[in-house]
Structures are given as structure tokens and as C-alpha cells.
Structure 1
Amino acid sequence: MFEEMDKLKEECGVVGVYANKGNVSKMVYYGLYALQHRGQESAGIAVSDQGKISHHKGMGLAPEVFEDKTLDSLSGNIGIGHVRYSTFGESLIENAQPLVVRYKRGNIALAHNGSLVNSEALREIMEDDGVVFQTTIDTEVIANLIARYHNKDIIKSIKNTIEVLKGAYSLVIVSEDKLIGVRDSLGLRPLCLGKFEDGYVLASESCALDTIGAEFVRDVDPGEIVIIDENGIETIKSDKWCNRKMCVFEYIYFARPDSTIDGINVYLSRSEAGKMLAREAPVEADVVIGVPDSGTPAAIGYAEESGIPFGIGLIKNKYIGRTFIQPTQALREQGVKIKLNVLKENVEGKRVVMVDDSIVRGTTSKRIVDMLKKAGAKEVHVRVSSPPVKYPCYFGIDTPYRENLVAANYTTDEIRDMINADTLHFLTIKGLSEATGEKKGYCKACFDGNYPMEVPRVEGN
């Protein structure tokens, strides 16, 4: 985790499967496998068999948490799954999802991607009323609200609940004989709908549909509730005006490149961002390399637009997982070498353009530039396929305090000197808008500080 802090982190991924017959637990598992990049701290699955909900969750990657016999024991035709990345101090089994709640009207299972900005206020109100919480996650706040509002109609209780929620959320819910999906009114977090021969799938990204073998139908609209049961699909659109503000970092870093979100293919948007970089900041060089993996499509785009050959300059060790032993302080100083190594033959004696998706703290960028120069690169020109990250996120992304965001405290020239690059250029906000489709609405608050709603102000931010 020592080097991973130099990247922004997504909270989690969700998937839900409804089948008219048969057991869905393995389909949910395959969906989680496809969404593993969205969270590696914990994984969980809950399934419903005629209203009886069974579940299993644990710390670690999906393959570490689930064995065949575990999946076989989770029997039911409706299921939801969750993979989670937590902030520090919250990586606990109690906080793993889905959350299963038993209350007066029955059982529900709930999985949540995102973060509420009014979670603490809602929790305090309920605690004053005597509600006891077992976790520190805002998912439990949502579950308790649904239980509180639930009289006879689960859909009405969900509608009443989302009326009081502020923040980002895509939800998948199992209730009795229904699979329900909900997307927040700004569409900050992604959620899509797919169909297979015998049922339907809800998932954070379309790549999960491909893995399950489902056909993409459409994205769930901002503020929409999707209800799936034996009668098929019912949708409830928000009766309020929804101003789409999809998190633009899904396209820059979080989502898998083979996903399409809100009509925009992730790989193509990253490649286009690289082309925009080449137009904004051309440079004479011999080779373009990407920082794997999310920097590679932008590097390919930069090479195509500039005419400079693309090459592999950095090799990534793909087998560093959650259980990797934390190194000593001495090793931590060169820890990036454990994850990345330079392909010396492709950079030695050359002027190198190094394309990365973002710079958050700057520590990793400096170490990679130093590695390239030590391997014999004559020059290293750093190109970043996103604007400078200057503001923290409150909508489900683990962002350092503003005092730790290098672009919030230093100019581009100062950052260039800090990371030992010969030149440095961040993609402009205008360039990012063109790369991701100017007609779409995005949240770019981490770049410009224009949050789509009122957010809490925390000391240090």
C-alpha cells in the first residue's frame, strides 16, 4: 500500500443478478472478479432464496474469500455482490458488504458504491432515537433509513430514503423477491443494466456484464430506480430535474478500459486524452512510454498523434496483492521498483515521453523519472492525461488532504523540478472535456473545486 497512496482510490464496485430460475451465486462471483480493480480490501455476496437471505463476506480479493463450496452454499435466484476499497482505519470485516439487515418487515441485503456527505448527520439523528450501529460505513445509514420508512411497500421506502440522502451512490438491493438498483440524482457513480437469457444484471461497469455473459442494455439514469422481479423490469424515473455530473475520474483511472460508461468508451477516452496532450504539449523525443496500466492508452494516443514511436519502457509486476509484506523504511525509499521495473533497452540513450494518468502526491513520479534516467534515458518529458488534482473528493474517492496534494501547493514548474523531469505538462480541463465528450456532464471538482453540491469542510482540506 506504500506506493498506492500516490493514486486516488475508488471505494468499491457492485453487481446484482436476477434469474428466473437457478442459482446466481457464481454469476455474481464472476461479476465481482471483473470489478476487482475497484476494490481489493474485501468482497462479499448475498443471495435470496424465496425471501431467505444467506451471505458470505471476508477480507481480501474475491478468489481469496470464495471457494466453490462456499458459492454452492449460497443458493438463490437473486444475488448481489460487492468489492471494497476502504480508507485507512476502516479496513474491517464489520465494514465489508453486502450488508444484510433483518427488521420488522423482513430482510434486505444492500451493497453501495459511493459516499454520502450527510452520513454523519443522519447517523447522529438515528442514534439519538436509539438506533444502534454495528459498522462505521454509511451503507448502514441507508439500510436503517429503508427499514425505518418501510411500512408495506419497499419501493416507497427506498424513494423516501433517497429523498434525504446527499452524496454519491449506486445501490443494489435484494428485498424478498426483487432485485433493485438505484443511482444518485447526479449520476456521480456508474451503474448499468444488462440482460441474459434467463434474467438481468446490474453492475458498476459494463465489463462485468461481458464476464457474466450478459448483453448491455443501457446505463441506469441519474435518479432512477430499477426494479426487477418475476414480472420483468419496472423503472421509476426521478420526478426532479437531474443534472448529470458523472465522476470524470472513472474515465481517467478507475474504470477498466474495456468498459463503456454513459455512452463513452473508457479506452477511447483515454487514448483521445493522449492525443490532446500531444496537441497541447508537443516535444521532440525518440519514444513514448506509458506508466502501466491506466497510463498506457493515453501514451498510445500521444504516440499516434505526435508520430513518435510507442514503446514499452516500464514493466509492471502484476502479482503484488493485498497481502504484500510492508517493507522496511530503507526499502520503502526504492519501493516503486518492486512494482515497476525499467526495460533499459527501450530507453537507454533516448529522449523519453512518459505518460501517466495523474499525479497526486508526486512521490511515485519522481522515483519513476529517476529510474528512467538511471537506466540511461537522456531526457524524460512527463505528460499527464488529467489536469492537476488540487481539491479533495467527498463522493467516495479516497483523496489525501489538500495539504498533501502536490498540485494544490506547487506550480507546474515547481512540480517538474520536484520530480526531476525535463518538462511537465498536465492536460487542460478543456482538453479533458474534449477527450471525454463535451456534451456530457461531469464532476471535475478535484480539478477546479466546483462541487456539484454543498460539501463538508474538514480541517486540512
Structure 2
Amino acid sequence: MFNEVKSLNEECGVFGVWGAENANYLTYLGLHSLQHRGQEGAGIVTNDHGKLNSYRNLGLLTQVFYKPSLLNSLTGNAGVGHVRYSTAGGNRIENVQPPLFDFTDDQFALAHNGNLTNADTLKKDLEQKGDIFKSSSDSEVLLHLIRHSKQAIQIDKIKESLQQIKGGFAYLMLTKDSLILALDSHGFRPLSIGQLPNGGYVVASETCALDAVEAKFIRDVNPGELTIINDQGIHVDTWTDDTTMAICSMEYIYFARPDSNILGVNVHTARKQMGKILAREQPTDADIVVGVPNSSLSAASGYAEGSGLPYEMGLIKNQYMGREFIQPSQELREKAVRQKLAAVKGVVDGKKVVLVDDSIVRGTTCAFIVKLLKDAGAIEVHLRIASPPFKYPSFYGIDIQDRKELIAAHKSKEEMRQQFGADSLEFLSETGLIDAIGLKYDFPYNGLDLSYFNGDYPTPLYDYEKNLSQDF
């Protein structure tokens, strides 16, 4: 999704470890593998014999822990970590996770991936009771609900609190004696558990982070589960039995790393299959297939294989330009693309090119990339998108919550084609996307959340209902 520079971002990545020496370094390595899920802030909390210690700050993981002493100070054999991109709350240090809460009788750290759809209502109710929020993030709501619970046992407090919140969430909670995991009733965000060679356990948003610390995959966390990991091992409980799988389809299309497996499906394999099906659904007369680096390369190779056309490296990405150079204005975004992307004239000159991208959200720089190829000598550029048109906002953990931002919601396919300067423009069908991913859950979408494409939200939207109705 190179053409969507800084326009679609997942909220964060979470990582946890229990029962391992150097939990701080394991957490750092795990978060480094999840850096693609959030670049605005990072933090780690460790448990050293029941005492929780924390450090967090704004920036990339390497920028936050730029001094070895910062990481060395986080001693203990358990920890949770977080890399953040803000979907709810601003980019302030108060919103960087995991927050550590110190009470007279307890300590509690919380890492959250997702977005709550009734957070505003709950915050207002809690503030009326006298609660004070340290951050503007919705993640803090759960902790306040737990403290208000009248249940005698901590796990029962957590269950009661989870039953009050709505939306998408994968929580990691670190206490003095346990690492607790909770997933929403639809499993919008992925969460996996692995075991270290020494017998300790790790938890991560993606399996690539398990691989980074040489942990063996054990299982995915299922919707509605409440899992407790402590010195006695793993205990899987549930906080609700009213569950229906609806994992975010954008995890497979764009967010996750290609070497990750989500619910048993390899991400690269799914993206390649998207490209193959797209070639079958939307063929065209062309000479070569070119993918937009880097998240579209799997789909492009699939399109080439499915169409019988050669796959060529017609675009080159500058690997040494970081996100800190990406700017919010259209003019500066285009300059950023010019710095980060170059067409290979010797490959595309005189050729009819199929340009494969994974998705179009705002469409802010599509025209620039098409022009880049034509300026390099491409005779025709046929744009093929390995997902359906993104027409509806997301409310479960992606930073698109306004339909006005989505180009496919307001322009026809022909209008978009003309704006981009492409010779043709076609998208993958919803059925093609479902078949490509290949999950085997219930009809109609086989366990996928496709609300971005068809507006069929798996849950009520609560605080966002008014915003959505105003968009139409």
C-alpha cells in the first residue's frame, strides 16, 4: 500500500512473556518484529518478583530504548510490551502503552490492541463517579471498570468488566502473579501463544514475533477467551460464550507481515492467492506484472502466476528512508513517494504494465505512481487492486473512522481511473477475497470482517452510530 503513504494504520502490536529470564530483552525482540504495527510510541513493563517496573516513550522502539540502561533497568522474568499507532486518543506520551497503575494494594499494567466503540459513554459514566483518566486513550477504561467491580476474585472482576465494553480488543494484562489475555467476542485482532525452549510462554499479535524469540506456536486465542498464564501454566477460561469469528480482513490484505500465520493461514500465501484470483476475475492485455513495494509483492506474484505474464521488478523502494520523513500534506506526501519509490526504466519502457496494489483507501498518490511508470516509458498502466473497494470506515482498530476519507465511497470506478490516469482499474471481488484467505468459519464471510467493503458491521457501533449516519 505504498500509494497510501501514512493513510491506513493498524493501532498497535502487543507482546507478552511469562516465566523466562531476560524477559525485557525477549519483549524488546518481540516488539521489534511488530514495529510495522505501530511507530508512534513504545513501552515495556516487567515483573520482578511481584514488583512491576515500566518505561515508555514516543518514537520507534530503537528510539525509545536508545540507552542500554533503559532496558537493563526492567528486570524480571515476565513482561508486556506495546508499539503504538493512535486510532483513539492523540499522539501524547500519556497515551503510550503499557500504562502502569500503582494502587495501595496492587499494581496493574495493560496493553491493548483495538478500539472500543462505547468508550466515550463508559468514560462519561466513570467520570461522573469521580474517576480521573490519565490519558485520552480508550484503553484505560477497562482498568477503571475492574477497580469498580464488586466481585471478590480478580478474574471475576475482569470478566464483569469485559462484559461492559464493546468493540475490538486484544488485551494483555500483567499483574504481580499472572499474565492475563482477553480477546473480544469476534476476534477482530489476532493474538497467538507460543512456548519458549526453557518452558516459558510468550504472547504476540503475530506469529512472526514468536519466531523472533524462537518460541514454538501453541495456539491462537479464540473470541471470548480469557486466558491466564502463571507459574502453574496456561488456563483457558471464557468471559462470554456469545461469540462469532469476524477477524479483520485487512490483517491478511495489508497489516500483518507475510511470514506470519493468522488462524492457521500464512499471510503471504493468502496474498498470493488474492493475486491469482484477481488475475482470473480481471484479466487484461499486458506484457508484465509489477507490484507496489512492499506489501503488494505477494499479490503481484500471484497475479503473474495466475495470468501467465512475467513478474518484473518495475518499481524500486528506497529502504533507507524512514517514516519520520513522511508528511501529512498532499504535496509533501508526493515528495515522500518520489524519494521512496523509483520506476525501473529498463524494465517498463515500451511495455503494457499491470500494476498490482493491495488496496486503495484515500487514493492520495495513485496518480503519481501511474505517472511515474508512464514517465519511465510504460505504454499502458492497468491498475489491479487485490481487495474490494474500501467504502466504509472502520471502528475496531484502524485509523479510518470517517467515510469522507475513502475515495471509493464517493467516486465511481471510472472516476477513480480517470483521476489516477490508469488505462483500466479493477478490484478483487468479496467472494474472491473470502476464497483466497480460505478460513472455514460460518457463512456469510467465513469468519472475516468485511465491513470496510460492504458496511455489514458485525456489532452495533454504539458511540459511532451518529458519526456513521452523518457520513451517508
Q: What residue number does 1:207 align with?
A: 208
The Cα offsets for residues 151-205 of structure 1, whole Å up to 9 and x where unpaired, read as 5422111111111010000011101111111111100011000001230011100
Distance 1:91 1:6 in 2: 14
Deviation at 1:323, TM superposition (A): 2.7
Letter in 2 for 1:444: L
Deviation at 1:274, TM superposition (A): 0.1
Letter in 1 for 2:269: L
CA RMSD of aligned residues (A): 1.8
Q: What residue number does 2:63 align with?
A: 64
8 Å contact 2:395–2:401 — kept in the other structure?
no
Q: What residue number does 1:219 align with?
A: 220
The Cα offsets for residues 22-62 of structure 1, whole Å up to 9 and x where unpaired, read as 23000000000000000000000000112211100111111
Q: What residue number does 1:315 align with?
A: 316
Q: What residue number does 2:444 align with?
A: none
The Cα offsets for residues 357-388 of structure 1, whole Å up to 9 and x where unpaired, read as 00111121111001100110000000000000
CA separation of 1:396/1:239 partners in 2, compared to 1, >3 Å: closer, same or farther?
A: closer
Letter in 1 for 2:25: K
Distance 2:351 2:121 in 1: 56
Q: 1:447 aligns with which of 453, 458, 468?
A: 453
The Cα offsets for residues 339-373 of structure 1, whole Å up to 9 and x where unpaired, read as 21111111111010000000111121111001100
After TM superposition, the structure 1 = structure 2 runs for residues 227-238 of structure 1, keeping only pairs within 5 Å, are 227-238=228-239
CA separation of 1:295/1:7 partners in 2, compared to 1, >3 Å: closer, same or farther?
A: farther
After TM superposition, the structure 1 = structure 2 runs for residues 398-417 of structure 1, keeping only pairs within 5 Å, are 398-399=399-400, 401-417=402-418
1:167 and 2:173 aligned = no
1:418 and 2:419 aligned = yes
8 Å contact 2:182–2:227 — kept in the other structure?
yes
8 Å contact 2:349–2:379 — kept in the other structure?
yes
After TM superposition, the structure 1 = structure 2 runs for residues 26-425 of structure 1, keeping only pairs within 5 Å, are 26-66=25-65, 67-87=67-87, 90-149=90-149, 152-196=152-196, 197-324=198-325, 326=327, 332-399=333-400, 401-425=402-426
1:15 and 2:15 aligned = yes
* Local SS of the residue matching 1:16: strand
Percent pairwise identity: 48
CA separation of 1:230/1:169 partners in 2, compared to 1, >3 Å: closer, same or farther?
A: same
CA separation of 1:176/1:69 partners in 2, compared to 1, >3 Å: closer, same or farther?
A: same
Distance 1:91 1:366 in 2: 30
Deviation at 1:144, TM superposition (A): 1.3
Deviation at 1:301, TM superposition (A): 0.3
Moved more, 237-246 or 124-133: 237-246
Deviation at 1:86, TM superposition (A): 1.4
Moved more, 144-153 or 191-200: 144-153
Distance 2:83 2:161 in 1: 23
Distance 1:139 1:89 in 2: 9
Distance 1:303 1:189 in 2: 31
Distance 2:328 2:219 in 1: 45
8 Å contact 2:13–2:82 — kept in the other structure?
yes
Q: What TM-score comes out, normalization by structure 2 length?
A: 0.94
8 Å contact 2:370–2:422 — kept in the other structure?
yes
* Local SS of the residue matching 1:114: strand
Moved more, 119-128 or 146-155: 146-155
8 Å contact 1:6–1:361 — kept in the other structure?
no
Letter in 2 for 1:44: G
How many pairs align? 459
Q: What TM-score comes out, normalization by structure 1 length?
A: 0.96
* Local SS of the residue matching 1:236: strand
8 Å contact 1:6–1:359 — kept in the other structure?
no
Distance 1:47 1:438 in 2: 36
* Local SS of the residue matching 1:335: helix
CA separation of 1:407/1:144 partners in 2, compared to 1, >3 Å: closer, same or farther?
A: same
Letter in 1 for 2:183: R
Letter in 2 for 1:53: L
Distance 1:336 1:400 in 2: 24
Moved more, 280-289 or 314-323: 314-323
8 Å contact 1:189–1:247 — kept in the other structure?
yes
Deviation at 1:411, TM superposition (A): 1.2
CA separation of 1:417/1:327 partners in 2, compared to 1, >3 Å: closer, same or farther?
A: closer
Deviation at 1:242, TM superposition (A): 1.1
CA separation of 1:117/1:325 partners in 2, compared to 1, >3 Å: closer, same or farther?
A: closer
8 Å contact 1:6–1:364 — kept in the other structure?
no
Deviation at 1:316, TM superposition (A): 1.2
Letter in 2 for 1:240: D
* Local SS of the residue matching 1:277: helix
